[in-house]
Structure 1
Amino acid sequence: MAAFSRNGKPVGLDAQYVGRLPCAACGLRPMKLPGREGGVCIPCFAEERAAAGRRAASAGAWVAASFVGDPCLACGSRSVDANGWAFWCNSCQMQTAVALPPR
């Protein structure tokens, strides 16, 4: 399960896991961001967010936009990366924080 702060916001992955351990969802790519069941790669994070958005939208709830994806959803570049709590595209410079930085 993803870690949460006292205010209920997700907390990012500890730096010792980012890029070192395999994704908890697919097991193919390295962990880059926090997921529901542990650290996930960028494509699996995007898939989790899309599924959560569809569930919320079908329930009539507001859905927060997620710009995380591989390729970049803004410019289509595959030069994307994440550090455990933020995502960015090296081509168009778009950055998105997806969790609070770990302490």
Structure 2
Amino acid sequence: MAPLGRNGKPVGLDAQYVGRLPCSTCGIRSMKLPGQQGGLCIPCYAEECAAEGRRAATAGSWVTASFVGDPCLACGSRSVDANGWAFWCNSCDMQTAVALPPQ
């Protein structure tokens, strides 16, 4: 499970892991965002969010929409990046925070 802050919201990856360690799911791309069981690359983070959404829909509950993806879900560009707690597209300037910045 991703670490939670005092307010119960997820906390981002520590800067020492972002872009340095391999994704805990695929082991191919580098960690960019926090996941349930460790740091994830952008595509694995998007897949984890999609799976959570499918489970919630089946259970009749709501989940927060995720706009994180590679390619960008807004413009289709592959020029996307993340810093451990926020995601952005360099082409269309869409940004979204997915966790609180680590302290």
Q: TM-score range by the shorter chain?
A: over 0.9
Distance 1:11 1:64 in 2: 16
After TM superposition, give the deviation of residue 7 of structure 1 in Å.
1.5
TM-score normalised by length of structure 1: 0.98
Deviations 1:54-86 (Å, cap 9, x if unpaired)?
101111111211000000000000000000000
In the comparison of the two structures, how many residue pairs are matched? 103
Moved segments of 4+, more than 4 Å: none
Counterpart amino acid of residue 64 in structure 1:
T
Matched with 2:84 is: 84
RMSD between aligned alpha carbons? 0.5
5+ residue gaps, structure 2, are none
Matched with 2:26 is: 26
After TM superposition, give the deviation of residue 8 of structure 1 in Å.
1.1
- Report sequence identity in percent: 83
